[in-house]
Amino acid sequence: MQRREAISVLFGGALAACACGRAHAQTPAVGCFVSAASFGDFNNTFNVQTSTGLAFLDANIIHEAHLMQEVFGVKPGLSFFVEPPSMGGNAFATSEKYFSPSHDGTILLGMRLMQSEMDSQDGNGQHRITCVMAHEFAHIYQVKKPHLRQKAQTWRELHADFLAGWYLGYRSVEGLAITAKTSDALYEKGDFAFNDPNHHGVPLQRMVMTLEGWRFARNNKDWRKVSKASEFGASRLLPDQGGWVVVPTLKLD
């Protein structure tokens, strides 16, 4: 398959317009799981793109997306959109199948988000984007599991953080030079909107869950099994006064 054909196949899906809940927050948020209306509505509002405009980044995203399909056992449509200034950098996942009925949902990555991650001072821009993508693939994985799909939004966000960290650890074990510090991509997007049903978890919770996922992939005999990673990630989240407490296995100095 030629590169242009690969882009058209992989990036043909899109997400429809909806209220994500974090769209107008002061701190950009990543990983909104949403319901959607129609692709036409979303495209008219946000201008869907089939490329980041950077050939090397397109190639990296295509490569990682194909690996994520295998590792997570899901096959979503994937595309980009242009966030308005008021939104900041963002990404979405939805159970709607806008590209093909055979897909398990759709993921849309914001162009501002991509640019922000690529401009990160730590020089890990592409790995940070991989972390965000893995978080969104985790949401699609949740879509296929009724016992996960019915969980509260904040629970699903933190659980997706764990699976994102697990994927980074998985790739690291395979030899890719990804460091645990890449979890900053999610840490920086935590929020303190406790009364918002779309609350993503505070920064420390997001960081701990991502690092817990990383640790699972590097220290557990079942590191290749997404189902085992999912179960362990769920065990790290306990209900507490209407919210969730992250119970780490690692020591925080």
Q: Give the pLDDT confidence of 64-74 residue by residue, as tens digits.
A: 999 999 999 99
Identify the band that residue 12 occupies on the pLDDT scale cut at 50, 70 and 90: very low
pLDDT bin (cut points 50, 70, 90) of residue 44 is: confident
User: Taking a C-beta distance cutoff of 8 angstroms, is the pair 146, 171 a contact?
Assistant: no
Q: Is the pLDDT of residue 97 over 90?
A: no
Tokens found for residue 8: 């058209």
pLDDT at 141 over 70: yes
How confident is the model at residue 232, as a pLDDT?
A: 95
Residue 250 has a pLDDT of 60
Which helix (H) or strand (E) covers residue 239, if one does? strand 237-240
Segments in the chain forming alpha helices (H): 3-10, 39-46, 55-72, 111-118, 125-143, 146-149, 153-173, 184-187, 203-219, 226-235
User: What average pLDDT does the chain have?
Assistant: 75
Q: pTM value?
A: 0.78
Q: Are 82 and 111 in contact (CB under 8 A)?
A: yes
pLDDT band at 183 (very low <50, low <70, confident <90, very high): low
